Amino acid sequence: MNTWLASTRDTSKTQLWPAPVIAVVAALLFGVGLPQLDATIDGNL
């Protein structure tokens, strides 16, 4: 288990894929969440 965690940590530090994945997930969350928040704040929009 400890070697798997160390390997995963090393892979995430040396690869560039986490940044785009985080950006895509954030965009999806904001794309779904912000319209709902906006409608909650001001229902006349």
> 8-42: per-residue pLDDT in tens?
888 777 877 778 889 999 999 999 999 999 989 98
Euclidean distance between CA atoms 4 and 10, whole angstroms: 10
pTM of the model: 0.54
Number of domain units in the chain: 1
Q: Does any domain span residue 21?
A: yes
Q: Does any domain span residue 26?
A: yes
pLDDT at 7: 86
Q: Does any domain span residue 2?
A: no
Q: Does any domain span residue 36?
A: yes
pLDDT at 45: 60
pLDDT at 5 over 90: no
Residue-range definition of the domain harbouring residue 22: 16-45
Q: Does any domain span residue 4?
A: no
Q: Does any domain span residue 35?
A: yes
